[in-house]
């Protein structure tokens, strides 16, 4: 299986009646198997909602999600998601959390154990194998989660801001580690972020998302050579061009949201003033 993931006319709304709110709006894009796709967009746009739909945890209100051309019906072990919020089992040590997937799939204990230990070393948690999630810092928890996802070697890996909350130095180390891992293993990858430098470093393709309700507002090819190192990207002319182009679109989206936000506030104040006047007159 190549593991290409496709969204076709996906719409997602929550709530009913006048409280109905559209979060994802006619979204169409493909996460190709051989190109690292990064989704970048404003906070609160609807990216995590889209991730839950792609992973099969929720159903679109309309439109469809396809994997290798076939409709996705629920979550599957072929797609692995690292969520923005930590999802480690609090009653398990870091090592046992990492071993959870292989155990569930019936992988031989010695083989799984060997891989888990090696992965935990790679993410800098070798000395924290026997600690419980509450004994780890937020950044360590993120790394433990990454190890727990990677050990299963899924065909499609979806990471929703996996490095959020890491300090700048650890973030850089993790980015380079994850980039090199991708270059070796080449799994279908969708990475969600709000950080433009992170996006450009990892991406072959950038999906720039609009504000709420989210859609793809632009697609930019990141034609920088691989293997990449963070040091190569800093000050690179091509990388800077791409960054300027992406930021211009993101800026437009931010302005639109600002304008609609202030319009909504103005409408609310008008309605409130009208009701008060009517109330006073009655």
Ligand X SMILES: Nc1ncnc2c1ncn2[C@@H]1O[C@H](COP(=O)(O)OP(=O)(O)OP(=O)(O)O)[C@@H](O)[C@H]1O
201: its two tokens: 């470093």
What stretches of 123-190 show up as alpha helix (H) in DSSP? Answer: 138-150, 168-185
Closer residue to Mg ion, CB minimum distance, 128 or 163: 163
Nearest distance from C-beta of residue 198 to ligand X, angstroms: 13
Phi, psi of 219 (to 5 degrees): -125, 125
Contacts to Mg ion from residues 38-57, by CB under 5 A: 47-48
Calpha distance 206→193 (Å, rounded): 11
Query: Under the criterion CB under 6 A, does residue 71 sit at the interface with ligand X?
Result: no
Which run of H or E residues covers position 278? Answer: helix 237-281
Residue 45 or 81 having the CB closest to ligand X: 45
Binding partner of 202, given ligand X, Mg ion, none, CB within 5-8 angstroms per partner class = none
Indicate whether 86 belongs to the interface with ligand X (CB under 6 A). no
Nearer to ligand X, 57 or 272 (CB): 57
Q: What is the smallest separation between the CB atom of 40 and ligand X, expressed in angstroms?
A: 10
What is the chain's alpha carbon radius of gyration, rounded to the nearest angstrom? 21
Stretch of 58-66, 79-87, 181-189, 249-257 lying at the interface with Mg ion (CB under 5 A): 79-87
Angle at 81 between CA 150 and CA 242, to 5 degrees: 90
Residue 46 sits in the site that holds ligand X (CB under 6 A): yes
Angle between helix 109-122 and helix 94-104 axes, rounded to 10 deg: 130
Instruction: Name which of 205, 147, 224, 206 is nearest 181 in CA terms.
Output: 147
Does residue 257 touch ligand X according to CB under 6 A? no
Distance CA 262, CA 60 (A): 29
Site string for ligand X, 5-44 (x = CB under 6 A): ---------x--------x-------------------xx
Residue whose token pair is 């989660």: 145
Nearer to ligand X, 3 or 41 (CB): 41
| Distance from C-alpha of 35 to C-alpha of 95, rounded to nearest angstrom | 31
Q: Other C-beta atoms within 10 Å of 236: how many? A: 16
Window 91-120: contact mask with ligand X (x via CB under 6 A): ------------------------------
Task: With CB under 5 A as the rule, give the number of residues binding Mg ion.
Answer: 3
Q: Name the token pair of 208.
A: 């720039």
Give least dist CB 81 to ligand X, A.
Answer: 13
Residue 21 or residue 103: which is nearer to ligand X going by CB? 21
Binding site for ligand X (CB under 6 A): 14, 23, 43-49, 84, 194, 212
Residues that bind Mg ion (CB under 5 A): 47-48, 84
């Amino acid at each position: 299986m190549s593991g290409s993931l496709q969204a076709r006319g996906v719409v997602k709304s929550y709530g009913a009646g006048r409280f109905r709110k559209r979060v994802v709006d006619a979204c169409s894009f493909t996460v190709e198997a051989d190109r690292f796709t990064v989704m970048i967009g404003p906070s609160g746009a609807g990216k995590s909602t889209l991730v839950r739909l792609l992973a099969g945890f929720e159903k679109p209100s309309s439109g469809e999600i396809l994997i290798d051309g076939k409709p996705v019906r629920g979550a599957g072990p072929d797609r692995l998601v690292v969520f923005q919020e930590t999802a480690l089992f609090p009653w398990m040590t870091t090592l046992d959390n990492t071993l959870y997937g292989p155990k569930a799939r019936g992988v031989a204990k010695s083989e799984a154990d060997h891989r888990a230990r090696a992965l935990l070393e790679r993410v800098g948690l070798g000395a924290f194998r026997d600690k419980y999630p509450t004994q780890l810092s937020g950044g360590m928890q993120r790394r433990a989660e990454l190890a727990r996802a990677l050990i299963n070697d899924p065909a499609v890996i979806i990471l929703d801001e996996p490095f959020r909350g890491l300090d700048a130095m650890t973030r850089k180390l993790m980015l380079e580690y994850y980039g090199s891992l991708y270059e070796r293993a080449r799994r279908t990858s969708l990475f969600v972020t709000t950080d433009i430098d992170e996006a450009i470093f990892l991406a072959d393709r950038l999906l720039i998302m609009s504000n709420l309700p989210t859609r793809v507002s632009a697609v930019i090819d990141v034609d920088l050579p691989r293997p990449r190192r963070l040091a190569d990207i800093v000050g690179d002319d091509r990388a800077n061009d791409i960054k300027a182009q992406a930021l211009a679109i993101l800026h437009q989206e931010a302005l639109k949201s600002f304008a609609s936000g202030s319009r909504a506030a103005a409408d609310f104040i008008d309605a409130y003033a009208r009701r008060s006047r009517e109330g006073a007159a009655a």
